[in-house]
Amino acid sequence: MTSSGLVVQGQPISDPDGGVKQIVNDFSIQIATVNGSGSQSANNVLLRSIFRMGVPVSSKNLFPSNIAGLPTWYTIRVSRYGWVARKADIDVLIAMNPETAREDVLSLAPGAAVIYDEPFKLNEIRSDLTYYPVPFDRLAAATGADAKVRKLVKNMVYVGVAAHLLSIDMEWVEKTVRKQFAKKVKAAELNLNAVHAGFDYAVSTLTKQDPYVIEHMNATDGKVIIDGNAAAAMGAMFAGVTVVTWYPITPSSSVVEQLIDFMKKYRIEQDGKSNFAIVQAEDELAAIGMVLGAGWAGARSMTATSGPGISLMAEFAGYGYYAEIPGVIFDIQRTGPSTGLPTRTSQADLTFIAGLSHGDTKHVMLIPGTVKECFEFGIEAFDLAEQLQTPIFVLSDLDLGMNSWMSEPFDYPEKPITRGKVLSAQQLEEVGGFARYKDVDGDAIPYRTLPGTDHPAASYFTRGSGHNEKALYTERPDDYENNMLRLARKFETARTLVPKPILEGTGRQRVGIIAFGTSHWAVLESRDQLERESQLPTDYLRIRAYPFTSEIHDFVATHERVYVVEQNRDSQMFNLLKIDLDPTQVTKLHSVRHFNGLPIDARTVTDAIAAQEGAE
Amino acid sequence: MSTTPVTPRPKTNRIGLQVLDYRGGKTTLCAGCGHNVISERITEAFFEMGIQPERVMKMSGIGCSSKSPAYFMSRSFSFNSVHGRMPSVATGALLANKTMKSIGISGDGDTASIGMGQFVHLLRRNVPMIYIIEDNGVYGLTKGQFSATADIGSKLKTGVVNDLPAIDTCALAIQMGATFVGRSFSGDKKQLSAILKAAIAHQGTVMLDVISPCVTFNDHEGSTKSYKYMQEHEESVGEIGFVPHFEEIEVEYDPNTTVNVQLHDGSSLRLRKLHEDYDPTDKIHATKMLMETHAKGEVLTGVFYIDTQKPDFTSLLNMVDEPLATLPQERTRPSREVLAEIMEAHS
């Protein structure tokens, strides 16, 4: 150990003239802490300070299904190129968890830097790393924080250390801390003291030996950082949602928790009354039951859940489809089957939801890939639910929902709220009544009335058993067949209304890639890698909804080979496409899967496609 | 002098509708089924109370009982939902439009087994609706298995003896928070009518267990839900009178023998006490009385418990006065400034 306390056992990466070669704005930082230690604020300050320096960032929070005491990792990817998918290699480690510190160090990329809690004595594990020991406890104690908050303050100390070592602008760190603790002046001061304690210690004691630095850019001007669940909640609020029901489940709980905050702030009327109702239901069966009851009675209603909740909702989902009742269900996917890995991400609810419930059932799914789409589809879902008179499922996932993402600010919805085919008493008088399930307009979407419509012809009987056009009970084979065929035609109408896919590339390459949801970000980066490393240019189509629109058929038809990238074991999107495509096109499809619970990374996609293409 | 035959004008209620306007479809239940009699009483009660049929939501689950809404008030809006999960659907519908009257018809199988979870939460929330259990102790549509309200020791037609205790839905409802709890018998026209009319006037959960013998599967010797058994073992907690708010209330002269309960719309529920010390606002006493009579092999009927002060679920949520279902976009979509403010907070 040197007198400065800096341990350098590895070889720093050097440039030809002998100095340390800098790696600017292109590396990853991992903070290894213990669940429940309050590191989230500190990690957020680090992320946002870099973001405010104009440098593109993304973060992944890897946390256990546990309240406190188990290991948790927060990874910040800094990318001057704007890549925001998970990067498997870690370049800078902040080791705060004694239980995992050794393993964390062993997993690092060569040349990585390790900021660690001095008593861990990690400096002898590997010789190809740069080590920065820091006496966190001593520095936290010096802030004057009492024993209870010292644990939290300790996290802010590493922000200060990292700020010095990585050249993060302290002015932005300070502004970020003040914004984060806007309403808590005392807490802001205490945290700032801690940041400075770490920073001053690093300035006076640590000598920069690793290559990783942050420099100002202007690539984040005007952008926001938000998580997908907050964006979905905003979407629901701007969609004019009035009835919200839920049963807590990770990773969907924060959709409704954030929605409650938004609604209490922005949807209370002048007399102090709420123009909405939010109910924590007794279980998921009740949550979707309330959604359907409210949707039937005319409210814009929603719930949010995850895979296990979706399983419980199956019966009512089929009811909603068959009795034609609007409602919105946000599914923030996590791994399964069963409880699976409750706090890990996946895209494995696709085929289950597509036909959720018994009998011939078909559901419409919207699949956002960005936080902005979480907002936009959060609005669109309600319009579609009422237009199509059916439950609409919005399939986000843990990665999109619970992680912070950079985004362009969201656009105010210009399109007015669409209530679909609802007949008023006056309209009933004019047309002389109606048949609830009659296809009047040729789009297979019938007309409905809302309970309370003051006209003797307004009422109808809603049931999950066989019904004819007039909503009367029937077991007649022709009535059943006609109704089911109309529902199938309605699904074809849905095909023309759902969000279209987005094409990237020239559209003239031999190889195409199809992806959806959060796999998008890895594919973006992978296409760049394939072109640079394997001279393999690709076209890319990002699916955003089910049923599939005609553009998807065209894309497959115009490419020789199409790779379907997804985060599940059973190639679920691949299989849905196989059912939908012309059989002659099916052999063009190839699957690229990733399903270990971690968000997919570009290298996985690149290596899989390069291998199947026989590229170097 | 010539006489013109006078056609008697059909009787109309206070909103000018005839009883025909409250009729439902033709029943497909068995001849003599108690459920049909209940449908008749409901029809009369809504007619006599002058409730616009279009202002009523009829909710049900699955089973013989849950078919009932098809047989009364065709001009009302009906939702025949899934097995045991009617409470959540009814709750959602009332959140969407709290200005509607809601009546839910369930069965003993629908409520006390598959629906138990949602049932207790409906009570706990005091959702403003009338929840009727058409209780016959058996599953009719699946041809006669015991339900969870069948008494211990009672027999199926096939001779099978029930060895599990019955769930007393009334005792449960009192404990869980319903604000109007009673039991009646489909064969007791006077009592059932009075209770139903009071139920319509009440704002909160009305839980009404109506013993309704199943003539096909549970009306035999050894059943405790048969007509004969009920006629022999029914004991009323009190005589019930109902005075609608639009009728003049007569003064009851003997205050020692009656209790008048003022309901939400100004109506009065008049309970004439048979039991000297019966207090319908005392939860503990009501529950004790239910248990004691049950232990004696009697079926206690009447209104056991009533609370007109506890706020119903829609009041608790402090919702605007109008139905949420039809609020215009101007009230439900926040402004551009709100979006800009949230975006700024995330910059």
Strand partners for A562: A512, A589
Q: Which residues in chain B are closer than 8 Å to A267, comparing Cβ atoms? A: 332, 334
Is residue A4 pLDDT above 60, yes or no? Answer: no
- In terms of domains, do A267 and A393 share one? yes
Of A433 and A308, the structure prediction assigns the larger pLDDT to A308
- In terms of domains, do A397 and A491 share one? no
CB atoms closer than 10 angstroms to residue B167: 18
Residues contacting residue A589 through CB under 8 Å, at least 6 positions apart = A556, A562, A564, A574, A577, A578, A581
Q: Which residues in chain A are closer than 8 Å to B54, comparing Cβ atoms? A: 452-456, 458-459
The answer to whether the Cβ–Cβ distance between A417 and B79 falls below 8 Å is no
Give me the pLDDT at residue B240, please: 83
- Sequence-distant contacts of A573-577: CB under 8 A, at least 24 apart: A573/A347, A573/A350, A573/A514, A573/A516, A573/A543, A575/A351, A576/A350, A576/A351, A576/A354, A576/A546, A576/A548, A577/A514, A577/A548, A577/A552
Average pLDDT, chain B: 91
- In terms of domains, do A143 and A195 share one? yes
Mean pLDDT of B93-116: 97
Does residue A417 fall inside a structural domain?
A: no
Tell me the pLDDT tens digit for each residue of A231-288: 999 999 999 999 999 999 999 999 999 999 999 999 999 999 999 999 999 999 999 9
Residues contacting residue A210 through CB under 8 Å, at least 6 positions apart = A12, A20, A92, A111, A112, A113, A130, A165
- In terms of domains, do A33 and A172 share one? yes
Is residue A12 pLDDT above 80, yes or no? Answer: no
Of B10 and A562, the structure prediction assigns the larger pLDDT to A562
Interface test with chain A among B52, B91, B124, B336, by most A beta carbons within 10 Å: B91
Supply the range of the domain harboring residue B292: 19-239+276-317
Does residue B40 fall inside a structural domain?
A: yes
Count, residues in chain A: 616
Is the preceding omega at residue A135 within 30 degrees of 0, hence cis?
Answer: no
- Using the structure block, give the residue that is written with the tokens 């009592």: B191
CA distance A288 to chain B (A): 8
Does residue B328 fall inside a structural domain?
A: no
- In terms of domains, do A208 and A243 share one? no
**Which residue among A243, A285, A473 sits closest to B324, beta carbon to beta carbon?**
A243
Give me the pLDDT at residue B234, please: 85
pLDDT band at B254 (very low <50, low <70, confident <90, very high): low
Does residue B326 fall inside a structural domain?
A: no
The answer to whether the Cβ–Cβ distance between B85 and A286 falls below 8 Å is yes
Does residue B261 fall inside a structural domain?
A: no
Interface test with chain B among A229, A312, A403, A463, by most B beta carbons within 10 Å: A463
Does residue B343 fall inside a structural domain?
A: no
Q: Where are the alpha helices (DSSP H) in chain B?
A: 34-49, 64-67, 86-96, 108-109, 116-125, 169-176, 189-201, 227-233, 283-295, 313-316, 329-332, 336-345
Mean pLDDT of B134-154: 91
How far CA A555 is from CA of A527, A573, A576, in Å, comes to 17, 15, 15
- In terms of domains, do A246 and A370 share one? yes
B18 near A CB under 8 A: no
- In terms of domains, do A361 and A250 share one? yes
- In terms of domains, do A278 and A183 share one? no
Is residue A544 pLDDT above 90, yes or no? Answer: yes
Does residue A348 fall inside a structural domain?
A: yes
> Which residue of chain B comes nearest to A271, CA vs CA?
B320
Among the residue ranges A173-187, A238-252, A409-423, B250-264, the one predicted with the least confidence is: B250-264
Give me the pLDDT at residue A5, please: 29
- In terms of domains, do A481 and A591 share one? no
Q: Which residues in chain A are closer than 8 Å to B333, comparing Cβ atoms? A: 238-240, 413, 417
Mean pLDDT of B27-43: 94
Is residue A3 pLDDT above 80, yes or no? Answer: no
Q: What is the pTM of this model?
A: 0.95
The CATH number given to whatever domain includes residue A179 is: 3.40.920.10
Does residue A36 fall inside a structural domain?
A: yes
The CATH number given to whatever domain includes residue A311 is: 3.40.50.970
Q: Count of domains in chain A?
A: 4
Q: Count of domains in chain B?
A: 1
Interface of B with A in 134-163 (CB under 8 A): none
Does residue B174 fall inside a structural domain?
A: yes
Does residue B76 fall inside a structural domain?
A: yes
Strand pairing of A502-504 and A511-516?
unpaired
Interface of B with A in 52-81 (CB under 8 A): 52-55, 57, 59, 69-70, 74-81
Is residue B79 pLDDT above 60, yes or no? Answer: yes
- In terms of domains, do A374 and A239 share one? yes
Is residue B2 pLDDT above 60, yes or no? Answer: no
Q: Which residues in chain B are closer than 8 Å to A298, comparing Cβ atoms? A: 96-97, 323, 325-326
CA distance A338 to chain B (A): 22
User: What ipTM score was computed for the predicted complex, to two decimals?
Assistant: 0.94
Supply the range of the domain harboring residue A85: 13-213
Tell me the pLDDT tens digit for each residue of B309-339: 999 999 999 999 999 999 999 999 999 999 9
The answer to whether the Cβ–Cβ distance between B332 and A275 falls below 8 Å is yes
pLDDT band at B258 (very low <50, low <70, confident <90, very high): low
> Which residue of chain A comes nearest to B54, CA vs CA?
A452
Average pLDDT, chain A: 94
Of A12 and B309, the structure prediction assigns the larger pLDDT to B309
- In terms of domains, do A368 and A438 share one? no
CB A99 within 8 A of CB A117: no
Interface A:B, Cβ pairs < 8 A: 217
**Which residue among A282, A288, A456 sits closest to B121, beta carbon to beta carbon?**
A282
pLDDT band at A11 (very low <50, low <70, confident <90, very high): very low
**Which residue among B97, B333, B346 sits closest to A451, beta carbon to beta carbon?**
B97
Give me the pLDDT at residue B242, please: 83
Does residue A420 fall inside a structural domain?
A: no
Q: At residue A72, what are phi and psi to the nearest 5 degrees?
A: -140, 145
**Which residue among A239, A273, A286 sits closest to B319, beta carbon to beta carbon?**
A273
Does residue B4 fall inside a structural domain?
A: no
Does residue A476 fall inside a structural domain?
A: yes
Q: CA B64, CA B106: separation in Å to the nearest integer?
A: 9
Q: Which residues in chain A are closer than 8 Å to B70, comparing Cβ atoms? A: 461, 473
Does residue A220 fall inside a structural domain?
A: no
Is residue B211 pLDDT above 80, yes or no? Answer: yes
Interface test with chain A among B81, B101, B315, by most A beta carbons within 10 Å: B81
Does residue A400 fall inside a structural domain?
A: yes
Tell me the pLDDT tens digit for each residue of A354-367: 999 999 999 999 99
Count, residues in chain B: 347
- In terms of domains, do A155 and A264 share one? no
**Which residue among B76, B96, B319 sits closest to A459, beta carbon to beta carbon?**
B76
The CATH number given to whatever domain includes residue B176 is: 3.40.50.970
Helix (H) or strand (E) holding A552: helix A550-557
pLDDT band at A289 (very low <50, low <70, confident <90, very high): very high
CA distance A590 to chain B (A): 39
The CATH number given to whatever domain includes residue A569 is: 3.40.50.920
User: Percent of chain B having pLDDT more than 90?
Assistant: 71
Give me the pLDDT at residue B247, please: 73
Helix (H), strand (E) counts: chain A: 20, 24
Q: Which residues in chain B are closer than 8 Å to A237, comparing Cβ atoms? A: 334
Mean pLDDT of B36-53: 97
pLDDT band at A33 (very low <50, low <70, confident <90, very high): very high
